[in-house]
């Protein structure tokens, strides 16, 4: 009986690194999925107390029946994705708009016969994302900051701190599967 227990310990020790690696990957994917869900929820519910839109821009958006911030063509929201990467230090969850993302270039609406058209284009551009996050001023334009990613980072930190029991229970289940 005792020899059998030592064999089990030997098997567990040889598999422990791969068990922890697999658990870390599964948990990182979970964090990424929740992060994407939280970002989209903030855009839909408009619950981050963003500065109001400029009156002119608000009138422009109302022509397309879009009164929410971050929402005009939905290309920004639909571009938000999550993926994981791995390096020597571990797994990382990435949430946001991937580099090189190119939405469909199609007309969403137009402001009148022969006038400017609104294309589903460039609302994912890193400079645009930076303007939304930090705001900008200059050349007669002022855009107040409407941060999404900084509050999300704080929210994800709290989520991970409160979700540790899930990680430990996942690790225990993986270990018990070898017993």
> What integer is the mean pLDDT of 106-116?
47
Tell me the pTM.
0.74
Whether the CB-CB separation of 148 and 132 falls below 8 Å is answered with: yes
Helix or strand run (H / E) with residue 136: strand 136-138
Q: What is the pLDDT of residue 152?
A: 92
- Give the dihedral sign, CA 86/90/93/97: negative
Whether the CB-CB separation of 93 and 32 falls below 8 Å is answered with: yes
Q: What is the pLDDT of residue 155?
A: 93
Domain ranges of the chain: 16-176
Whether the CB-CB separation of 174 and 12 falls below 8 Å is answered with: no
Per-residue model confidence as pLDDT tens digits over 18-64: 888 999 999 999 999 999 999 999 988 889 888 887 787 777 777 77
Per-residue model confidence as pLDDT tens digits over 116-168: 444 444 455 666 777 778 887 776 667 788 888 889 999 999 999 999 899 99
């Amino acid at each position: 009986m005792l020899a059998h227990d030592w064999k089990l310990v030997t098997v567990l020790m040889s598999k422990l690194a791969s068990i922890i690696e697999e658990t870390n990957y599964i948990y990182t994917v979970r964090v990424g999925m929740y992060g994407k869900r939280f970002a989209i929820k903030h855009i839909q519910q408009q619950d981050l107390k963003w500065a109001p839109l400029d009156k002119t821009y608000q009138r422009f958006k109302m022509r397309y029946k879009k009164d929410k911030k971050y929402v005009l063509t939905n290309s920004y929201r639909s571009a938000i994705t999550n993926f994981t990467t791995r390096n020597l230090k571990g797994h990382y969850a990435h949430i946001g708009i991937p580099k090189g993302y190119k939405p469909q270039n199609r007309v969403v609406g137009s402001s009148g016969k022969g006038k400017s058209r609104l294309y589903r284009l460039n609302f994912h551009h890193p400079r645009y994302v930076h303007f939304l996050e930090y705001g900008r001023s200059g050349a007669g334009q002022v855009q107040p900051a409407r941060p999404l990613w900084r509050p999300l980072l704080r929210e994800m930190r709290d989520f991970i701190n409160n979700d540790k029991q899930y990680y430990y229970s996942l690790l225990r289940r993986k270990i018990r599967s070898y017993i």
